Amino acid sequence: MSRLAKKPIQVSSKVSIESAGGMLTVKGPKETLTKSIHSSISIAVTPEGVMVTQADNSRLGRALVGTYAAHVRAMLAGVETPWKKVLQLNGVGYKVEVRGTDIVLNVGFSHQVVLAIPEGLTVTVLKNTITIEGADKQRVGQFAAEVRDVKRPEPYLGKGIKYDDEVIRRKQGKKAV
């Protein structure tokens, strides 16, 4: 069993959490998140905090305890302050803009790439910097990965879409003999 799951997870006074009917609901000042609970896991809300324990003595239950404890921590943090991912566009003529509920990328293809922004996320664009924010950590990370997959950074010139803290290992090109 996970060592982090043995300790109760502290809940802020601004956040309310309830577990009923196989669903976990976390309500914060701005957002409300819900997650289904696996049958091998039981989540109890106590005055000391939230306890995640295994409902049965199975191998899967032991494996999921730490995972669900991490999910609960991420949900509690996300409803108070939104999760954020920042992407940078590198390349001559590469542009990005937000049109309504879509993000439009011009990244060197013969066509524009249009991606629909998922519900619950906010995307802002400032020059060649894309900021993705939202309460659900998984959704923010998944959409950031989808945007990055449109044009991954390449190792020779460094052109493409990269995370702001990502380091591109550059390769040396062909040498003249």
pLDDT digits (tens, 9 = 90+) for 1-33: 678 788 899 998 889 999 988 899 999 998 899
The model's pTM: 0.89
Look up the CATH number of the domain holding residue 16.
Answer: 3.90.930.12
Q: For residue 63, is it within any domain?
A: yes
Same domain flag for 73 and 110:
no
> Domain range for residue 150?
83-163
End-to-end CA distance of the chain: give it in Å, rounded: 60
What digits encode the pLDDT tens for the residues 58-113?
Answer: 999 999 999 999 999 999 999 999 999 999 999 999 999 999 999 999 999 999 99
- Neighbouring residues of 6: CB distance < 8 A, sequence distance ≥ 6: none
Q: Does the CA dihedral 11-15-18-23 come out positive or negative?
A: negative
